[in-house]
Structure 1
């Protein structure tokens, strides 16, 4: 009976929905996390010669799991190396071991002993080079964000600030402040085509298109919010409602299988 397979597909779809919602809830407090939702499509037994009035449904299938890149709440931290993006852009980080470039909305950065600005995994933040006035030297060309630990006068680095316009300014022990570079933000023609790779990171694919690097507050990238982090865009109340709905769908499909089993048993009993 096709009803068994139809309901079985329904169970699998409900399980996928439950897993996606559970993943969202688990990351409700993950910085820079973007929630996902499952899209379903119906299946029919049809052909070019079939009577449209006799088309039989065969259940549903998962059409895709879509990412929602809506802006999450921006929370003030007061830490100078915490940066949030108020827009559609992404920070770009490079893995020094294999040159792999990943993209993230998590702006929690730190400086290591060599002066490199990195994320918590040790990947280098990408920036544009600037001149002494803070103007871009090679627009569109990114480099690792490396901060000189001493200036030309031999003074040691004392503090570092990432301003709202992306300018990275280093202050030294002799009181001088120098522009080091400007944070590079990446934008994509189709961000929903980015592939999640974990730790609030994504990689570019053929569906997303190649990244376009721009300075903050340029094009679609958005502005920076220094001293703040973007929280997850998961709405727990919405996810709980979705969880209850997915559970009811699972129970309904399980009940349909049970009913089909009773019908089959009745037919078998009639034959005997």
Structure 2
């Protein structure tokens, strides 16, 4: 039994090492959220087993939990580099598949069609009138017109703390083109990681609840900055050493069990 108990320990330590390694590898990934491994013990016995004689048979991985604490903020100066200063995820939609993805990485840009996007996924917002007042609850992709009603050319874009996206034109006029919609979840730990600092909703996370930035418990929008990874390298290095020691200890337990078995075999022969 000791062989299998220690083998489980090796597998668990390997999983822990893998999670920590992934955290360290993404220490510079904007919007990345670190994960931690939760373990639970395994006990085998029946209703007739003396509880004072029950023997544990190792441990198993109970969950790999995501930590959605906010990461440090880095100033960039770019108008479409955005940070959610508090709770909430940016909502984006793939122009190809139509899938809805959620992210904390606000490194957006304007494409040649005027859509504000990141990695091919278009930013979703509440529709507004020209003054920035929300006019509906149906989310839509934010598109900046190349010219305004007077025919003046697009000159730039700005995003307010309240999430209103304002396009500026060469004649000095400003027109609101939408208000960023932030998403929250009943259980964000149930979100599925999709890569590129994107998440998708699952049955465990619940459906998204949308709200306006800087209202209620939704965070405000900080323009000209990006949220960095929330990985603490010092903490991860300590965890890495601990996981390595656990791996070595379980390997040593297997080696000890092997020596004991060999001794017994030698006695019998």
* Shorter-chain TM-score range: over 0.9
Q: 1:108 aligned to 2:107?
A: yes
Aligned-residue offset at 1:46: 1.8
SS in structure 2 opposite 1:13? helix
**Contact 1:75-1:229 within 8 A present in 2 as well:** yes
SS in structure 2 opposite 1:43? strand
**Contact 1:90-1:221 within 8 A present in 2 as well:** no
Q: Distance in 2 between matches of 1:220 and 1:43?
A: 40
Q: 1:134 aligns with which of 118, 132, 135?
A: 132
Q: 1:258 aligns with which of 255, 259, 264?
A: 255
**Contact 2:80-2:107 within 8 A present in 1 as well:** yes
Q: Distance in 2 between matches of 1:81 and 1:29?
A: 19
Equivalent residue number for residue 99 of structure 1: 98
Equivalent residue number for residue 240 of structure 2: 243
**What is the TM-score of this pair, normalised by structure 1?**
0.97
**Contact 1:7-1:256 within 8 A present in 2 as well:** yes
Equivalent residue number for residue 30 of structure 1: 29
Q: Distance in 1 between matches of 2:76 and 2:88?
A: 20
Greater than 4 Å deviation, 4+ residue runs: none
Aligned-residue offset at 1:47: 2.0
Aligned-residue offset at 1:214: 0.8
SS in structure 2 opposite 1:49? coil
Q: Distance in 1 between matches of 2:188 and 2:46?
A: 36
Q: 1:269 aligned to 2:266?
A: yes
**Contact 1:194-1:207 within 8 A present in 2 as well:** yes
**What is the TM-score of this pair, normalised by structure 2?**
0.98
Q: 2:222 aligns with which of 221, 225, 236?
A: 225
Equivalent residue number for residue 6 of structure 2: 7
Listed as ranges, the matches of 1:147-158 within 5 Å are 147-158=144-155
Q: 2:164 aligns with which of 167, 184, 188?
A: 167
**Contact 1:187-1:220 within 8 A present in 2 as well:** no
SS in structure 2 opposite 1:267? helix
SS in structure 2 opposite 1:158? strand
Q: Distance in 2 between matches of 1:216 and 1:46?
A: 53
Q: Structure 1: which 5+ runs fail to align? A: none
Q: Distance in 1 between matches of 2:87 and 2:26?
A: 20
Kindly provide the CA deviation profile for residues 182-201 of structure 1, in whole angstroms up to 9, marking residues without a partner as x. Answer: 01110000000000010000
Q: Structure 2: which 5+ runs fail to align? A: none
Equivalent residue number for residue 120 of structure 2: 122
The count of residues paired between Structure 1 and Structure 2 equals 269
SS in structure 1 opposite 2:150? coil
**Contact 1:194-1:202 within 8 A present in 2 as well:** yes
Equivalent residue number for residue 86 of structure 2: 87
